Homo-oligomer: A and B are copies of this chain.
Amino acid sequence: MTSRPAVSLAQRKRQLVEDELTETAFRLLTAKGFDAVTVDEIAADAGVSKRTFFRYFASKEDVIVRFLADLGAGIGAELAARPTTEPPSAALRHAVSVPLAACGEHGDRALRAVQLILRTPALHARFLERQAEWRERLSAELARRLDRDPAADLYPRLAAGMALTAFGAVLERWSDSDGAADPVALTAQAFALLAPALDAPAA
């Protein structure tokens, strides 16, 4: 009777467990603080074993950070999708705006995740690690786009770093304002400041 589902039952179960784990972790961690909650506690509360928790997440930090990490992972691809005619500052601004805008829309959930991350050293460290990965992708994409030699030329690396500096600054402002500030507007401001360096004629 029921048509064969596009995703198997097993896959849906897996997704269910992951969601439950994320949900539970989120609730407990925001309520009690990162260090005051053990993985055992999260797992028990979600109705699975500790071992299962680690089959879904690489670390305790991962549950929270993955939230943002997934958003930012696409930055490199966003940049690649921008027309080559666009000056770097505009292309980077658009690439960075995508995850930031997504944050703004996700509302409360994303806000609390960001606040937790920025205020918890362990989470912040993991987040910075992810950013470093994004930076490498961005840098490579910029080098390709502008046909620069990334081994001899500092520009791609610095431009990628500047874009992510803007990203971090905007995220911080947004977090500190409890979501009141507009991420996209802040991004525009930041890139207006960076543009003179980003778009300077080739050295």
Instruction: Please give the residue numbers on chain A whose beta carbons come within 8 Å of chain B beta carbons, in ascending order.
Output: 121, 124-126, 128-129, 132, 154-155, 157-158, 161-162, 165-166, 168-169, 172-173, 186, 189-190, 192-198, 200, 203
Copies of the polypeptide in the assembly: 2
**Given A161-B165, A168-B161, A169-B161, CB of A193 within 8 Å of CB of B154:** yes
Contact B197 A203 (CB under 8 A): no
A203 to B165, CA, bound (A): 19
Closest B-chain residue to A152, C-beta based? Answer: B173
Residues in chain B near residue A154, CB distance under 8 A: 169, 173, 186, 189-190, 193
Contact partner of A124 (CB less than 8 A), chosen from B132, B194, B195, is: B132
A124 to B126, CA, bound (A): 10
A162 to B189, CA, bound (A): 15
Residues in chain B near residue A197, CB distance under 8 A: 162, 193-198
Closest B-chain residue to A130, C-beta based? Answer: B125
Q: How far is the CB of A62 from chain B (nearest CB, A)?
A: 13
A178 to B124, CA, bound (A): 30
Residues in chain B near residue A165, CB distance under 8 A: 158, 161-162, 165
Residues in chain B near residue A155, CB distance under 8 A: 193
Q: How far is the CB of A144 from chain B (nearest CB, A)?
A: 18
Closest B-chain residue to A133, C-beta based? Answer: B121
Closest B-chain residue to A192, C-beta based? Answer: B203
